[in-house]
Structure 1
Amino acid sequence: MLLFARLLVLVSLFSGAAFAYDPPAEDSRLVLDRQGVRIWSYQVPNSPLYGFKAVSTVKSSLSGLVALIADTENARKWIYRTKSVEPLERNDADLSFSVRVITDFPWPFRDREAVVSGHIVQDPQTLKVRIDSNSINTQPPRACCVRMPMVEGSWIFRPIGNGMVEITMTGHADPGGYIPASAVNLLIQEYPYNTLKGLRKLIGDDRYQKSHFPNIHEPTATHGP
């Protein structure tokens, strides 16, 4: 199976992607610590919209996590408020891709759409997998939705030993249209919490844990975090 036999779907606040900015610890505020999920919010420079950082741990191979995120057909089963993910382009040579994500927004707001490009890398020493993404405007907007003007993001999968992986999901996005920043900031906890809960419910499935990607290397018994 090629690493991009199915395109990776990235997740962030309101759109299915996560922000690549790593906030300094002193600028972050812990806003939730429940059922194995911790979430911090932080002020993003030059933006009225907060970013978030969410962390959890799961028992999984690295390929298993990549396989779950690559399964675009089942993305809406676990990515909170995601209606659909449409693969657009891929490049197996440099492990890059683009997808269109439609997100279900609560009434009275219209649904949101984001076209996102991304890239996956693995650190050869730590074996940490990082998937970064950002919004692009290579596709015309759909009439059903408001195009999100900005989405940037990352997932980080860090092996910590004994088959466990620490997942870090960070996010910041501009949903576009007229939505008060205060309303957007209220969802800082809701989106990552429900998404990570959904991931943890599905990650043990054999279809993910039996997956193998040649470009993703797993830690050995003697390999430390």
Structure 2
Amino acid sequence: MKKVIFMVCAVALSATVHAYSIDKAKLSLNKNNIKVWTFQNEKNPVFLYKAETTYNHPLEHAVSLILDIDNAVKWVPYMGSVKVLSRDDKKGDFTLYMVLDFPFPLKDRDLVVQGKMIKEANGQVTIKNKAIKNGYPLNPKYVRLTHYEGDWNFQKLAPNKVKVSTYGYANPEGSIPLTFVNMFVQQQPYQMLQKMKIQLSEQTQYSPLPEALK
């Protein structure tokens, strides 16, 4: 049970861009082979985002890194702790409890995430996530996030090259200025994908993928 999905590292404040037209999005960042698009809609004042990059590593290594709870604190921004509440590697289902370390003076956040791992017929791997309102007791030390959705997508471009895209949405709850939230949305996915690149280069061992992704 030590292997778990870390797509919610972007939970801090994001949205499922692929549900909308990318034509509406603004290219907010484009550097170091990482692109971040953001946009808003009338129903949500918090920026929606999509971020993508390519790595010169096998698809299996990139997915395995996302599933590796032991090394997550080395590269996932604001990652505090994660607990696996349930996981079915045959079906690809999982439930997580996560704590996010927010910068002082903000209160830390926690959430329960229900997710699904999927391997498409073309070999593409998708990991879908959504916050649920039950599944773990409330802790007065944290602000519970209940409105979150997010995906990771891995597309094989060559034996040692993978395209990685990440989407996400979360209402951060509490009293956080909207300008701060939207600035964070633009920077956090870039930092995450940049740190993921470094971790992929430094890591030498990867665990086999779960049965649902084989």
TM-score above 0.5: yes
157, 164, 169: which one aligns with 2:166: 169
User: Which has a greater percent of helix?
Assistant: 2
RMSD over aligned CA atoms reads 2.0
Q: Please give the alpha-carbon distance, in whole angstroms, between the structure 1 residues aligned to 2:154 and 2:106.
A: 33
Asked if 1:135 corresponds to 2:131, the answer is yes
Residues 1-225 of structure 1 correspond to what in structure 2 (within 5 A)? 6-15=3-12, 19-22=15-18, 23-124=20-121, 126-137=122-133, 138-204=135-201, 205-208=203-206, 211-217=208-214
The separation in 2 between residues aligned to 1:215 and 1:136, in whole angstroms, is 22
How many corresponding residue pairs?
A: 211
Detail structure 1 runs of 4+ shifted over 6 Å in the superposition. none
Structure 2 gap ranges (5+):
none
Q: Look up the equivalent residue of 1:181 and give its one-letter code.
A: L
SS of 2:106's partner is coil
**CA distance in structure 2 between the partners assigned to 1:20 and 1:31 by the alignment:** 16
TM-score (norm 1): 0.86
- Seen in structure 2, the aligned counterparts of structure 1 residues 215 and 62 have a Cα distance that, compared at 3 Å, is farther
Contact 1:75 1:85 in 2 (8 A): no
TM-score w.r.t. the length of structure 2 is: 0.90
1:33 to partner: Cα distance: 0.7
Paired residues of 2:9 and 2:76 also in contact (CA < 8 A):
no
Which runs of 5 or more structure 1 residues have no equivalent in the other structure? 218-225
